[in-house]
Amino acid sequence: MQPSSVDTDSFSRDQLSIRTPELVAIEFPLAGIGSRFVALLIDYLIQIAAAFILMLIFILFVFATAGSQPVRSSSVGSPNSGKWAIAIAIAIPFLFQWGYFTLFEAFWRGQTPGKRIMRIRVIQQTGRPVGVFESLGRNLTRIIDMLPTFYIIGVIVMFLTRRQQRLGDLVAGTLVVHERDIEAPLESMGGSRTFTAPSFTPAATPPRESKLPADAIALLTLADLQTIESYMARRLDVPIETRARLADKLAENMSRKMNLEIPPAMSKETFLEETAFTLRSMQHLR
């Protein structure tokens, strides 16, 4: 159920609507300049504190090393120590400026510590998480966004683009959005509500028989099973209304393929869980 395209017809400057393959829209509130600036400020304060601590450790290390060396003539210099000091002085700002943002966004679900505090994250334009290449692309371009000072170019580009993207976002095809609060699951919908793994496994510990006829489920394919499992894995990450509409559409589609009416006493999510349970069991037997 990965989002496949951006619905530009229902796009506004503050809201992004992405349609899934099942034609259900998932909305992402776009992060504005204010929240992004505060997140950036927090990240820079963290970098300054970390750089100060590292430099202090480095100075203490140099003094400790110098103290353990035998006293030499004052005319004899230590060029190697000077070269190492220059190399470290160059490497530390580089790692903080590009490595900090790139690594955090690539391996921390699109967030730096500042973004996490402000509850915003970087995503691809398709709604999928960013990877190393997207994060590296948007952050290598950061030096241009910073010109001539205080991110003037970045701010101007954000004002001019419909999706509030700075130059780095345009290059990498990324967006910055607000995190949505995960709402409580629908109490009226049956089935387990604990499926957050990439693949869905029915939460039935003891062996049991399916509540749906196997001959009808045999009409489905492995692709149908993957579609259901994809929905099960992501259903807690979408708003309740979207989740209900998607369950209805998916359950009706599967029942139509099976030529089977959904039992009146069974919710759409329970129907999907039972279908996935039986279909997976049948796939194991094949």
Give the strand order in the sheet containing 5-6.
Answer: 5-6, 15-19, 25-29
CA-closest candidate to residue 28, choices 38, 37, 19: 19
Structural domain includes residue 153: yes
What is the band of 208 on the pLDDT scale with cuts at 50, 70, 90? low
CB neighbour list of residue 195: distance below 8 Å, 6 or more residues apart: 201, 203, 232, 233, 235, 236
Q: Is the same domain home to 270 and 165?
A: no
The pLDDT assigned to 234 comes to 79
List C-alpha distances in Å: 58 to 31, 51, 64, 92, 121: 38, 10, 10, 11, 33
Q: Is the same domain home to 109 and 46?
A: yes
Locate tokens 């490497």: which residue?
91
Structural domain includes residue 2: no
Q: Is the same domain home to 172 and 227?
A: no
Locate tokens 């996490």: which residue?
116
The pLDDT assigned to 71 comes to 52
Q: Is the same domain home to 242 and 172?
A: no
The pLDDT assigned to 193 comes to 40
Structural domain includes residue 22: no
Tens digits of residue pLDDT in 92-141: 777 777 899 999 999 998 999 999 999 999 999 887 889 999 999 999 99
The pLDDT assigned to 278 comes to 85
Tens digits of residue pLDDT in 5-49: 444 444 556 777 766 554 455 677 899 899 999 999 999 999 999
Domain, as residue range, for 91: 33-68+77-178
Tens digits of residue pLDDT in 66-86: 766 555 544 444 566 667 767
Structural domain includes residue 165: yes
The pLDDT assigned to 227 comes to 87
The pLDDT assigned to 9 comes to 41
Structural domain includes residue 272: yes
Separation CA 154–CA 141 (nearest Å): 10
Q: Is the same domain home to 169 and 225?
A: no
Structural domain includes residue 260: yes
In three-state secondary structure terms, 138 is helix
Domain count, the chain: 2
The pLDDT assigned to 13 comes to 61
The pLDDT assigned to 62 comes to 76
Tens digits of residue pLDDT in 211-268: 788 888 888 888 888 888 888 887 777 778 788 888 889 999 999 999 988 888 888 8
Q: Is the same domain home to 60 and 161?
A: yes
The pLDDT assigned to 232 comes to 83
Is residue 273 within 8 A of residue 192, CB to CB? The reply is yes
Q: Is the same domain home to 165 and 220?
A: no
| Domain final residue, candidates 129, 158, 178 | 178
Phi then psi for 104, rounded to 5 degrees?
A: -60, -50
Examine the pLDDT at 192 and tell me if it is beyond 70: no
Tens digits of residue pLDDT in 151-180: 999 999 999 998 899 999 999 999 999 986
CA-closest candidate to residue 141, choices 169, 111, 114, 113: 169
Examine the pLDDT at 4 and tell me if it is beyond 90: no
Structural domain includes residue 249: yes
| Domain final residue, candidates 178, 200, 226 | 178
Q: Is the same domain home to 129 and 254?
A: no
What's the longest Cα–Cα distance across the chain? 95
Q: Is the same domain home to 141 and 38?
A: yes
Q: Is the same domain home to 88 and 140?
A: yes
Q: Is the same domain home to 240 and 110?
A: no
Separation CA 18–CA 177 (nearest Å): 12
The pLDDT assigned to 80 comes to 65
| Domain final residue, candidates 132, 158, 178 | 178
Helix spans in 95-141 (H): 100-107, 113-118, 132-140
The pLDDT assigned to 213 comes to 86
What integer best gives the mean pLDDT of the chain? 78
Query: What average pLDDT score do residues 180-196 get?
Result: 42
Query: What average pLDDT score do residues 40-65 get?
Result: 87
Separation CA 45–CA 54 (nearest Å): 14
Q: Is the same domain home to 168 and 234?
A: no
